[in-house]
Structure 1
């Protein structure tokens, strides 16, 4: 897991570093640290979150093992599966 605020640089330099990490597939999912939700990088819900709450993951397994659940908007099937498995909790 990598916090957005921990990516070096500011403004354009941070954006460039982030794009490089995405292009080389070191980041494939984004999440909200406070809500413990993760989703695709192009999810409209994720784009609205504050940088201070934003985290990134290399894959779904990393996000799930960190205790995050799938987004109900951009990962509907994975969310439904998660919801069924955690219905008793």
Structure 2
């Protein structure tokens, strides 16, 4: 089983954060309390409290960590996630 690498916002200095974003080491942000991930420029994500913000290099890291796509900035992927989840729940019942 893969283990996701999560970078906490409060654990990284602003200069390092910007350097990682520019180099592509950080591509997505997530909310650790809600378990949602999305684009760095997402309107909803920008309002998030820093203590809840985490960063991922790619979608796979976020998914392995148990996060779902944002319904605002990743609408198609969110709809797919929602459909898959609904299908999984209907087979359990």
Q: Which protein has the larger Cα radius of gyration, Structure 1 or Structure 2?
A: 2
Q: Which runs of 5+ in 1 are unaligned?
A: 8-13
Structure 1 stretches of at least 4 aligned residues deviating more than 3 Å after TM superposition:
none
Q: Which position in structure 1 is the counterpart of 2:36?
A: 37
Q: Name whichever structure is richer in helix by fraction.
A: 2
Deviations along 1:3-51, one digit per CA (max 9) or x if unpaired, are: 00111xxxxxx22211100011100000000000000000010000111
Q: Which position in structure 2 is the counterpart of 1:11?
A: none
Paired residue secondary structure (1:86): helix
Paired residue secondary structure (1:35): coil
The normalised TM-score by structure 2 is: 0.86
Q: Which runs of 5+ in 2 are unaligned?
A: 1-5
The normalised TM-score by structure 1 is: 0.90
Q: Which position in structure 2 is the counterpart of 1:5?
A: 10
- 2: CA distance between counterparts of 1:79 and 1:37? 10
Q: Which position in structure 2 is the counterpart of 1:56?
A: 55
